[in-house]
Amino acid sequence: MDDKEALELLEEEPIKYRLALNLLIFSGLRRGEIGGLKWSGIDFDDKIITVKRALKYIAGVGLFEGETKTFKSRRSIKLPDFIFDCLSHIRFGNWRSALR
């Protein structure tokens, strides 16, 4: 599969999956860090997300929110406009359909 085919496949996915994959690619965030993002850590004006928490999994306990992997993992990242377009659609647009 080439890049064009991969992008075409991704276009068919719900916006939440496209957003998660784009965050992985363009921000370098870990899966748990993406799960730990809060709206309060997203600056739509300056196009910056702040990573403070992460989702973690422990067998027998399940998912829970906790600290990032290391203290240095707490950071702010400037991201491209198209990522914030997706975030805006989920946050301010028709979020019910975006999350399906």
Q: DSSP letter at 58? A: E
Q: Given this model, what pLDDT does residue 47 score?
A: 95
CATH fold of 12-98 reads hpI Integrase; Chain A (1.10.443)
Structure-token pair, residue 20: 């998660």
Of 43-52, 60-69, 85-94, the range with the highest mean pLDDT is 43-52
- Structure tokens, 100: 């399906």
The domain segmentation of the chain, as residue ranges, is 12-98
pLDDT tens digit sequence for 19-33: 888 888 888 889 999
Check: CB of residue 77 under 8 Å from CB of residue 10.
Answer: no
Query: Cα(44)–Cα(8) distance, rounded to whole angstroms?
Result: 27
Q: How confident is the model at residue 94 (pLDDT cuts 50, 70, 90)?
A: low
pLDDT at residue 3, rounded to an integer? 66
pTM: 0.74
- Tens digits of per-residue pLDDT, 9-60? 777 888 888 888 888 888 888 999 998 999 999 999 999 999 998 888 889 9
Tokens of 48: 């910056």
